[in-house]
Amino acid sequence: PPPPPTPPPPPPRRIAARIAPVAVDTLLKPDAVLPTHPRFVKGTLDNGLEYVILPNASPAGRFEAHLEVFAGSADEREDQQGIAHLVEHVAYMGSRKRERLFGTGSQTNAYTDFHHTVFYACCPLEAPQTEGALNQLLLGRGGSPMLPRALDALCEVLEAQFQPARVEKERAAVLSEMSMVNTIEYRVECQILRTLHAENALARRFPIGLEDQIRTWTVDDVVRFHGEHYRPDNALLYVVGDVDPADVEARIRTAFDGVPKPTTPNPVPPCLKAQSRHFPPVVHEWSGGEFDGRADVPLADGAVLETSEDDKKRYLLPLDVPAVPHPATGVPVRAHVFQHELLQQFSFHLFAKRPVEAITTLAEHRAATAKRIVLSALQVRLNVMTRTEPLFSFVEFQHLDSAREACAVCSLDMNGDAGRWEDAVAAAVRETRRMGAFGLTQSELERFGAALVTDSEQLAAMGDQLAHGEQLTHLMETVACDHTFMDPDTAHAATLQAVATLGLEEVNDVAKDLMAHVVDFGDPDAARPSALIACSPATLADGTPVDISAEKLLAVAAAAATEPVEPEEELLIPENLMERSEVADAPDVPRSFADVAGADEADAARALGVRAQKLANGARIMVKALPHEAQRGALRLTMAGGRDSEEAIRCALGAAAVGARTLQEGGAFDPWSREQVELFCVDRLIMVEVVCTEEAVTVDFGFPTPPPRTGGCSGVEAALQLVHKILMPGAFLWEPDAFKRARIGHEQATETSLRSMEGAAQEALLESLLGNDPRFLSLGKGDADALTLEDVQKCMLAQLDPKNVEISVVGDLDAAETERLAVAYVGSVPRPEGAPETTLADGAPTATNARPPATPGRPIRVHVPDSDPRAVAYVAGAAPNRLGTLADGRALVEQLLGTSDLSKAPERWRHPLFASVALALVQEVANRRLFSVVRERKQLTYDANFRFSEHERVHGGWYLVSVTASPANADKALEACKETVRALASTAPPTADNLDAARRVLINRHLAELTSNKYWCEQLTGTMMDALPAKTLGGLRDYAKLAESVTVKDLQVILKALATDDSTIHTCVGTSGVVSEGEPAAEDLAPPVEEFHGSTPVGMPSRRGR
């Protein structure tokens, strides 16, 4: 017989073409033009529509299509404020072709911002069919192609029909959304942007609009704005994904060629749109650099469009934030203070606006690299200062290109203690001035240059394995700012070249230029900041007024900018925190994993590629090689306990919560100082996050896996050295100042939450449901103040017992070598003296204790004083925990069967993870039903959400339904949510279509996340703890098949087991606003009949998220 055919080679990890060597060679020339990504395709149809296509491999079998229309709120006239957002709603929510994407595993939405409106669809390549759904989801293949459907839906936006009924429906949705988004965080963002851009329309054109105008527009008004702006030559289509560019181009022509070519040209106004069509039609008064004090428009090739007096009259508006004279020079500076009773922390923002500088040549890339080195070095200095002085909870200095604002914004942002705001502002300004005045040290230049090279090297190694969404975000920002979009290999070559040739003097000149508005703030001829703004509570927690004004804010900042400063001193940075010889004699693993966990778990570990061991000191370790995030790794250290440990090990109330934060704030390991450990982590780009939940404390590490270019151990070994130092008795230094910062930070976070309408209402609801169980409630200020450093140290050390911890390491690493290192560094840690034989990871779990409502059928009422009226409602009831365990310790399946004998149960029910998967499907079905009934049919809300509590070790849990509404509709929305959940368990149970749609979402999400190191660490957490028998490696292996096996009947019986009648559910209505004297209290107000409808969200991202 002929020999068997040779199996095909495995698919390559990357499909992107490697950059040609000749292109890299051209980068050696200083004036070299940066080459564009070789697979980047750009074109224009005859009707003027531009398109951009980028093939990308991850996730396989999917694509994203985004249609960007260059019409945002800044394009609105004085009488059109909010109309761009309304047009977005009508154009997409009214699209019949968009409905063809429903139920296919697609996500589709739209958003409006200052400079554009974007409509998008994220889809599988092919629509799934009924048969073989799991295999289709796994392969991204199924039935008819989805790209034509997505493009048709996006094309319909340009030819939208404006039926009067749809306009009225979306008008109501926009008005409802206006109430929902008006949080204190949103109001702070508006104050910041209103001050920063006080001279132009951005300060007066927030996308949400003005209510009185929204209510008055006619259908003709809406049609007129659409006709003026929604034209093919005013739009750009992006397609990124697992696609063939030639096929995409053909399908784009098929979908969009029929859109008529405009009969009139699309004019370019004399504003920053002349620099980039993506920018909003505004001009800015610049701060610093060659354009300081001017409002001109930089064009390509060094040309400048000088702003005429007529243009200034058109685009520069009278300041609605008055300037304050500098206390020494008298030069006017734009300064503003915003105070509000809902604010808990003080924040300060110092801005300078510069023109966006295109990056198209090696010289320009080199200049941008120098800025990144300066910013990295300053940020680390600020971080070290934050961890030294309890003045700040956050401080950073940024320089970011912002297409939405048509400028590059240089910003110093700080959050801190309102009681010491003057000290905090002065310290932040001084440290920034120090960098501008003296620049970096030589070691900082070497360290942060090497860090940038490492970062670009990782991106080059990942190639097209970055997720479609990440690639598309980067692509849109790059195109908008007229930067060259490079292949990751080319970008890495350019970064190498830039870092190798940058000298200290040149980089420090860049630092001085970046911070000129701070360094020379006292000089009347120097660049002045674009704006200063502080946001502050009106009073401190004890009622003391916060004494602040625009004049005082400016005086404090100006004084700090003239105080003498000294250059930064060099600091010795360790290459290793310890030597391998210190752990060379670690004990061997006593037993095989099969002996410890059983044959099935050992088989599951092999199937998943997980190396699992239980060490002699009781520590559990799991290692998995995952190549998708090239040269990246993640490590999770999990300590069973959390808030649940406070009573179990007889610790002071709140000791775990504040103790975990103290661990985060600290970081000194004898003999190394906190600053040295911080810079050790910076050298290796190691990120650390410590979180305390109700049942565990987790420490998450993210890191590059190779050794740093500055020398020393690999990222994997460095993370394990940190773990060793944290676990080793006596190694971690519990410092009083770290404890003080932790306690202050925890109190501020708690107060911020409880002062918000949502936080106060949830607190009252959980207090009613769980009977004042402190594990699930906020820590009171009195309890926090009573804590001592000894309290938190005792609580944390009890949880840092190796027998109580589990460690997962996942990433692009050598699994065998990593396992050997983990055994050495973790296995060499002794158990604490006198530690109990049974730890929280092994012992019997505690339980929740849900109780009936005090007044069945009547909601709790919570009112929070606020200047603006808002409302939220909640419904909660007892449920199993995330793994399906009830409060009495029985499994959900046992309750459904009425017996603990599972021998006659369906096979799927006998799987340990069945209940967890089924509950996740219930959650998805419930959310879709709430959207359909409460939002779409009854038009009572913009947003309604159903979710189960997330703890796994503590027995029992709850479900929570949250719904935002106008105060007038809060009670009606609450009743609609109650009726919807009850109907799911009775008169309107889930259908087969409901289950299929939920299953596609769940499996798609799971499969997409399996390329993530962090997701693997999260899924592995608890699989080796005896206290979590239902969470196993076998469950992780079988997750997709389990989801496929769940039936409609399964969901129906589970829903019947939830507490949904008035005698068991707890409800709460939270409101905010001003209650006038003599006005009835919230509980006495009868709900009116007005109804609102919700739809897609308006874009108002945080300035920090640019």
Catalytic residues, by residue number, are: 88, 170
For residues 257 and 232, give the distance between their C-alpha atoms in angstroms, rounded to a whole number: 10
C-beta separation of 1087 from 970 below 8 A: yes
Cα distances (angstroms) measured from residue 913 to each of 68, 144, 1012, 1030: 43, 33, 21, 6
HSE, side-chain direction, 13 A CA sphere, residue 13: 12
Sheet holding 392-402, edge to edge: 323-325, 332-339, 531-536, 346-354, 407-416, 392-402
What lies within 8 Å, CB to CB, of 780 at 6+ separation is none
Label the pairing between strands 332-339 and 531-536. Answer: parallel
Label the pairing between strands 620-625 and 805-811. Answer: parallel
Cα distances (angstroms) measured from residue 1057 to each of 886, 889, 944: 11, 15, 22
Beta bridge mates, 626:
none
Beta bridge mates, 410:
352, 399
**Where would I find the beta strands (DSSP E) of 630-714?**
632-640, 687-692, 696-704
For residues 46 and 257, give the distance between their C-alpha atoms in angstroms, rounded to a whole number: 7
CA-nearest of 942, 955, 855, 871 to 915 is: 955
For residues 451 and 706, give the distance between their C-alpha atoms in angstroms, rounded to a whole number: 12
C-beta separation of 896 from 859 below 8 A: no
CA-nearest of 560, 386, 381, 374 to 449 is: 374
For residues 617 and 806, give the distance between their C-alpha atoms in angstroms, rounded to a whole number: 12
At 576, the amino acid letter reads N
Give the chain's count of helices (H) and strands (E). 38, 25
Check whether the bond before 1087 is cis (ω within 30° of 0). no
For residues 243 and 252, give the distance between their C-alpha atoms in angstroms, rounded to a whole number: 13
For residues 549 and 327, give the distance between their C-alpha atoms in angstroms, rounded to a whole number: 13
What lies within 8 Å, CB to CB, of 501 at 6+ separation is 366
C-beta separation of 385 from 392 below 8 A: yes
Phi and psi (nearest 5°) for 732?
-80, 130
For residues 284 and 273, give the distance between their C-alpha atoms in angstroms, rounded to a whole number: 12
CA-nearest of 86, 73, 158, 68 to 115 is: 73
For the chain, the first-to-last Cα distance in angstroms comes to 64
For residues 367 and 288, give the distance between their C-alpha atoms in angstroms, rounded to a whole number: 16
Place of tokens 């250059």: 567
Beta bridge mates, 863:
1071
Beta bridge mates, 1019:
none
